[in-house]
Structure 1
Amino acid sequence: MTRIVLPANGWRPRDYQMPAWSALERGVKRLALAWHRRAGKDDLCLHWEARSAMTRVGVYWHMLPLANQARKAIWDAVNPRTGRRRIDDAFPPEIRATTREQDMFIRFKNGSTWQVVGSDNYNALVGSPPVGVVFSEYALADPSAWGFLRPILAENGGWALFISTPRGNNHFAKMVDFAMRDPDWFGQILGVADTGVISSEAIERERREMAAERGEQEADAMIAQEYACDFNAAIPGAYYGALMTRADKEGRIGVFPHLPSEPVGTAWDLGSGDSTVVWMYQQTKNGRVRLIDVLEGSGVGVDWYIQRLQARPYTYADHIWPHDGGHGNIRDIGGTSLSATARNLGLKPLRILDRDPTIEMGINAVRQMLPLCEFNTDPIPFQGESADTARARMSRALDGLRQYRRQWNEKSQRFDEKPLHDWASNTADSFRYLARGRKPFPGSRSSPRSNVAAMD
Structure 2
Amino acid sequence: MTRELYTPRPLQAEIEAGLARFSVLVCHRRFGKTVLSVNRLIRAARETRRPDWRGAYIAPLYKQAKTVVWDELKRYCGLGLDGCTVKFHETELRADFDNGARIRLFGAENPDSLRGMYLDGAVFDEVAQMPHRVWTEVIRPALADRMGWAMFIGTPRGKNALYRLWRDAQRDPDWFAAMYRASQTRIIEAGELAAAAREMSPEEYEQEFECSFTAAIRGAYFGALVGEAEKTGRIIAVPCDPALPVHTAWDLGMSDSTAIWFFQARPGNTFAVIDYVEASGEGLDHYARVLDERRYAYGTHIAPHDIRVRELGTGKSRLEIARSLGIRFDIAPNIPVQDGINAVRAMLPLCWFDAVRCAPGLEALRHYRRAFNERMNDFSSRPVHDWTSHAVDAFRYLAVGFRQPGGGPRPPRAVNEYDPFGRTHERS
- Give yes or no for TM over 0.5: yes
2:122–2:149 contact (8 Å) kept in structure 1: yes
The residue identity in structure 2 corresponding to 1:421 is H
Deviation at 1:395, TM superposition (A): 2.2
Structure 1 residue matching 2:302: 3-state secondary structure:
strand
| Whole-angstrom CA distance in 1 between matches of 2:87 and 2:10 | 34
Q: What residue is the counterpart of 2:293 in the other structure?
A: 311
Q: Tell me how far apart the structure 2 counterparts of residues 280 and 127 of structure 1 sit (CA, whole Å).
A: 30
Query: Which residue number corresponds to residue 30 of structure 1?
Result: 22
Find the aligned partners of 1:154 and 1:336 in 2 and give their Cα distance.
Answer: 41
Q: Does 1:134 align with 2:126?
A: no
Out of 293, 296, 319, which is 1:339 matched to? Answer: 319
Q: Which residue matches 2:376?
A: 412
Aligned-residue CA RMSD (Å):
2.5
**Pair 1:303–1:333, CA change in 2 (3 A):** farther
| 1:431 corresponds to 2:410 | no
Rounded Cα–Cα distance in structure 2 between residues aligned with 1:126 and 1:283? 37
Matched, 1:181 2:160: no
Q: 1:338 to 1:122 in 2, by over 3 A?
A: closer
1:68 aligns with 2:63: yes
8 A Cα contact 1:60 1:114, kept in partner = yes
Match of 1:451 among 406, 413, 418: 413
Deviation per CA, 1:176-226: give whole Å up to 9, x if none: 01101101111122211221222343123124334xxxxxxxx32221111
1:42: which partner in 2?
A: 34
> Does the residue aligned with 2:23 lie in a helix, a strand or coil?
strand
The answer for unaligned runs of 5 or more in structure 2 is: 417-426
Change (3 A) 1:343 1:449: same
Greater shift in the superposed pair: 273-282 or 338-347: 338-347
Distance 1:62 1:69, change over 3 A: same
Match of 1:390 in 2: none
Aligned-partner SS, 2:379: strand
- Given that 1:409 and 1:415 are in contact with CA atoms closer than 8 Å, whether structure 2 keeps it comes out as yes
SS of the aligned residue for 2:228 comes to helix
2:87 is aligned to 98
Rate the CA distance shift 1:40–1:264 in 2: closer, same or farther, 3 A.
same
The corresponding residue for 1:53 is 45
Distance 1:163 1:310, change over 3 A: same
Deviations 1:47-105 (A, max 9, x none): 211111122241111111000111221123xxxxxxxx564135524433312234322
2:296 aligned counterpart, secondary structure: coil
| 2: CA distance, partners of 1:406 / 1:330 | 32
Whole-angstrom CA distance in 2 between matches of 1:171 and 1:330: 37
Tell me what 1:117 maps to. Answer: 106
1:192 correspondence with 2:173: no
Cα distance change of structure 1 residues 172 and 97 upon mapping to structure 2, 3 Å threshold: closer
* Range moving further from structure 2, 185-194 or 200-209: 200-209
Q: Distance in 2 between matches of 1:34 and 1:420?
A: 24
Match of 1:377 in 2: 355
Q: Do the aligned partners of residues 91 and 144 (structure 1) sit closer, same or farther apart at CA in structure 2, a change above 3 Å counting?
A: farther
User: 1:351 aligned to 2:351?
Assistant: no
Query: How many matched pairs?
Result: 410
- Deviations along 1:16-74, one digit per CA (max 9) or x if unpaired, are 334431123xxx21011111111111111112111111222411111110001112211
Among residues 9, 12, 15, which one is paired with 1:17 in the alignment? 12
Q: Which runs of 4+ in 1 moved over 4 A?
A: 125-128, 452-456
Q: Note the residue ranges of structure 1 that are not aligned, 5 or more in a row.
A: 1-7, 77-84, 211-218, 380-393
**Cα–Cα, structure 1 residues 227 and 154, in superposed 2: closer, same or farther, change >3 Å?**
same
- Larger mean CA deviation between 271-280 and 187-196 belongs to 187-196
8 Å CA contact 2:268–2:415 kept in 1: the answer is no
CA distance change for structure 1 residues 377 and 117 in 2, over 3 Å: closer, same or farther?
same
| TM-score normalised by L of structure 1 | 0.84
Q: What is the identity, as a one-letter code, of the residue corresponding to 2:326?
A: G
Kindly provide the amino acid, as one letter, of the partner of residue 270 in structure 1.
L
Q: Is the 8 A contact 1:288 1:448 kept in 2?
A: no
Structure 2 CA distance for partners of 1:305 and 1:92, relative to 1, 3 Å = same
Identity of aligned residues (%): 36
